[in-house]
Amino acid sequence: MASAIGRRQAFKLATQARLFSSSAARNAAQVKSLGVIGAGQMGLGIALVAAQKAGIPVTLIDQSQAALDKGLGFAEKLLAKDVSKSRLTQDQADKARSLLSPSTAIEDLSGVDFVIEAVPEISSLKFDIFAKLAKVCPKHTILATNTSSISITKIAASTTKDPTDLSASSRVVSTHFMNPVPVQKGVEIISGLQTSKETVDTAVEFCKAMGKIPSVSADSPGFIANRILMPYINEAIICLETGVGTRDDIDAMMKNGTNVPMGPLQLADFIGLDTCLAIMKVLYQETGDSKYRPSILLGKMVDAGWFGKKSGKGFYDY
C-alpha cells in the first residue's frame, strides 16, 4: 500500500512538473517582442543574441543617440565577423540586423512582451527606469533587469508606491547575463520577494530560447556569480597591491593552475574596474562583512579613470 501511495505521489509530482514546464514554455513562446534598455556592451549583446537566436524584433533604447549608433555599429561588426567565419550566412546576418530598432524614447516599449534593462549599476537610475516601465508597458510584460548586485526586491518595489499592489512588481525578475553575451552561455535568473513563479518560469524558458543555460539564484547580495567571482578578483588585486605577486605572475598562476581562460586581473579589465568596484561596494554594504571590503588599489584606479579595456587602460594597456 505504501509503495502504491509513493508511486501515485511521484506520478502527481511529475505531472505537476510537466504542467509547470508546459505553461512556462507557452508563456515564453508568447514573447513576440523584446525591449532592451541600454546600448552598451551588455545591452547590445543581449539585443543581438535575442534577434539571432530567438528571432524576434528588439527595440533598443538609450537616452544617447551616439550610444545607439555606436552599439549598432558594433553589432554590424560582430555579424560581419560571424559571416566571415561561416558561423552565419549573409542572409541570416541581414535578418538579425533588421530586427534591431533603435530609439531614445522609453515610450516605444509600450507594445513589447519582455523588457531587459542593462544600464550601469546605479540603484536610483534603475529604480527610476522600472517606475517608468510599470506605467509604459502592457500589464503582461515581464520586466527584467541585468543587475549584477542590486536587490531585485528593491527594484520590484520601485514599480509602485503601494506595497500591496503586486500588478507590476510580481513581473519583475533578473536575467543576469554573463559578459560577453554572444559567447557566454550562463544566465542567472533571480526573483525578488514579490516575483511570481510564472514570471521566473517564463524568464527561464525565454533565456533558453535565446540559446542560454539559466541558473536560478536567491535574491541575496551578489547572487551566485558575483558572490563568488568578485571576492576572487578583489583578492587578486589585494595580492598585487601588497606585493604578494606581480600582475603577470598572478594571472599566469590562475590561468595555468586552474585552467581558466584569463587571469583575474585581466578579467577585471574586461568586466570594467568601475563595475567591479560598484559590486564590491554593494556586497560590503549589504552584508557588513569585512571580507567584501573593496581593495584600496581598485578604488584608486577607478578614481584615475582606469576602468580597463573600455577606457584603454586598467591592469593592462589596450
The answer on whether 252 is annotated among ligand-binding residues is no
Q: Parse the chain into domains and list their residue ranges.
A: 34-218, 226-311
**DSSP code, position 313:** B
If phi > 0 it is left, if psi is from -120 to 50 it is alpha, else beta; for residue 79 that is alpha
- pTM for the structure as a whole: 0.83
Radius of gyration of the chain (CA): 21
pLDDT in tens, 293-308: 999 999 999 999 999 9
Tell me the average pLDDT of the chain: 92
- To which residue does cell 595580492 refer? 239
| Distance separating alpha carbons of residues 58 and 135, to the nearest angstrom | 20
**Is 176 labeled as catalytic in the residue annotation?**
yes
| Distance separating alpha carbons of residues 90 and 280, to the nearest angstrom | 42
Pick the catalytic residue from 27, 33, 148, 149. 148
pLDDT in tens, 245-270: 999 999 999 999 999 999 999 999 99
Pick the catalytic residue from 27, 151, 158, 176. 176
The answer on whether 151 is annotated among ligand-binding residues is no
- To which residue does cell 517606475 refer? 131
Pick the catalytic residue from 188, 191, 205, 295. 188
Query: Nearest Cα to 295, choosing from 310, 315, 317?
Result: 315
The answer on whether 39 is annotated among ligand-binding residues is yes
Q: How far is CA 133 from the centre of its chain?
A: 18
The answer on whether 146 is annotated among ligand-binding residues is no
Question: CA 169, 121, 77, 259 torsion: positive or negative?
Answer: negative
The answer on whether 256 is annotated among ligand-binding residues is no
In CATH, which of 3.40.50.300, 2.60.40.10, 3.40.50.720, 1.10.3720.10 is domain 34-218?
A: 3.40.50.720
The answer on whether 12 is annotated among ligand-binding residues is no
Superfamily of the domain at 226-311? N-(1-d-carboxylethyl)-l-norvaline Dehydrogenase; domain 2 (1.10.1040.10)
- Grid cell digits, residue 117: 534593462
> What pLDDT, on a 0 to 100 scale, did the predictor assign at position 19?
44
